[in-house]
Amino acid sequence: MKATVHEGIPVVAGGRSKPAFRVVMAYDDFASGKRAMDACHFLVSQFGGGAELRSTMWKFDVLRSTKLNQIAVDDAIEADVIIVANARNGGLSDAVKTWIAGWVPRKQGQAAALVALIDFTGEDVQAAVLAQAFLKDAAAEAKIDFLPQEIPFPESSLPPVSVAQAAEAPRKASIPPYNRTPMLEGWGIND
């Protein structure tokens, strides 16, 4: 039975405490959300049940809301692991980049990891390559571990753009500054 929570560590009656393992997942669609959950379950299994899992999930579309984006930033700052899962050859929207830019400077010096679940199985690989490069740069700037997990091309089909060509495409070398200007509001099904 939990009595209180202090600095993320629940206090259990009888003086024993169970540390909290915090995971934040950002995902693009149902399939990428499932991959993020599978990765989360794998990470938890590696800890052998010695920690209490606290996880939150943020769909990319929801991050367009300024208020929800800020809540997601706060979640990422507190997280031990941040998982970002793109859709098939999907890139990262401006809202996702704003979310990342919000937590990167405040995450520096923390023991944490960014897991990039990148799907390269579609027809246009350039968006996925750029997403992976952006996430790698974000992890480097935040001074946290970067763990890329790729879903590779099917061997029977060659992409129209090679990974090497897409990697050479122009991209920003650093994370843009966090901007609190209003993004698109509304994220409900009736919007």
| Domain-embedded: residue 64 | yes
Question: In this structure, how many other beta carbons lie within 10 angstroms of the beta carbon of residue 85?
Answer: 28
124 is in which domain, residue-wise? 20-167
| Domain-embedded: residue 14 | no
| Domain-embedded: residue 31 | yes
Do residues 149 and 39 lie in contact, with contact meaning Cβ atoms separated by under 8 Å?
Answer: yes
Higher local confidence (pLDDT), 140 or 184: 140
Q: Which residue has the tokens 């993320």?
A: 8
Q: What is the SS3 assignment for 19?
A: coil
| Domain-embedded: residue 36 | yes
Confidence check: pLDDT of 183 > 50: no
Nearest C-alpha neighbor of 23 from the set 3, 45, 1: 45
Q: How many domains does the chain have?
A: 1
| Domain-embedded: residue 8 | no
Q: What percentage of the chain carries pLDDT values higher than 70? A: 67
| Domain-embedded: residue 181 | no
Is 0.75 surpassed by the pTM of this model?
no
pLDDT number for residue 162 = 42
| Domain-embedded: residue 48 | yes
Taking only the tens place, the pLDDT of each residue in 18-75 is 678 899 999 999 999 999 999 888 888 876 667 788 899 999 999 999 999 999 999 9
User: Residue 31 is part of a domain; what is its CATH number?
Assistant: 3.40.50.360
* Burial class, 124, CB count within 10 angstroms (exposed 0-12 / middle 13-18 / buried 19+): middle
